Amino acid sequence: MNYKFILLFFTIILLNGCNQYSPNEKILVFSSEQKYKNTGFALIYSDELKKNKKISKKIDNRSLLIFHKSIKKNSFVKITNPVNQKTVIAEVISNNVKFSSFYNSVITNRIAEELLLNIDEPYIDLVLISQNSTFIAKKAKTFNEEKNVAEKMPVDGIKIDNLGLVKKNEKNKVKNEKFLYSIKIADFYHEVSAENMVKRIINETNLKNSVIKKLSRTKYRVLLGPFNDIKKLEDSFNEIKSLNFENLEILKDV
Specify if 24 maps to a domain: no
The CATH number linked to 149 is 2.40.40.10
pLDDT tens, residue by residue, 40-84: 999 999 999 999 999 999 999 999 999 999 899 999 999 999 999
Separation between Cα atoms, residue 234 and residue 183, nearest integer Å: 10
Residue span of the structural domain in which 220 resides: 181-252
**Residue of 114, 101, 2 whose CA lies nearest to 43:** 101
Separation between Cα atoms, residue 116 and residue 205, nearest integer Å: 36
Domain co-membership, 170 together with 203 = no
Domain co-membership, 167 together with 214 = no
Tell me, what amino acid is at 212? I
Would you say the pTM of this structure is higher than 0.85? no
Q: Which residues pair with 69 in a beta bridge?
A: none
Specify if 235 maps to a domain: yes
Last residue within a domain, chosen from 175, 203, 224: 175
210-216/65-67 β-pairing: unpaired
Domain co-membership, 112 together with 194 = no
| Per-residue pLDDT at 122 | 95
Average pLDDT of the chain is 78
The CATH number linked to 219 is 3.30.70
Specify if 12 maps to a domain: no
Specify if 15 maps to a domain: no
Counting the structural domains of the chain, the total is 2
Helix, coil or strand: residue 140: helix
Highest mean pLDDT of the ranges 27-36, 155-164, 210-219: 210-219
Domain co-membership, 106 together with 211 = no
Specify if 7 maps to a domain: no
Domain co-membership, 171 together with 197 = no
Q: Are 73 and 94 in contact (CB under 8 A)?
A: yes
**Residue of 209, 182, 181, 186 whose CA lies nearest to 197:** 186
Kindly report the number of other CB atoms within 10 A of residue 146's CB atom: 15
Say whether pLDDT at 32 is over 50: no
pLDDT tens, residue by residue, 121-159: 999 999 998 655 444 444 444 455 555 544 444 444 433
Specify if 20 maps to a domain: no
Kindly report the number of other CB atoms within 10 A of residue 89's CB atom: 18
| Per-residue pLDDT at 108 | 96
Domain co-membership, 38 together with 128 = yes
Return the ∠ at Cα 53 (arms to 240 and 113), rounded to 5°.
80
Task: Report the pLDDT averaged over residues 77-96.
Answer: 95
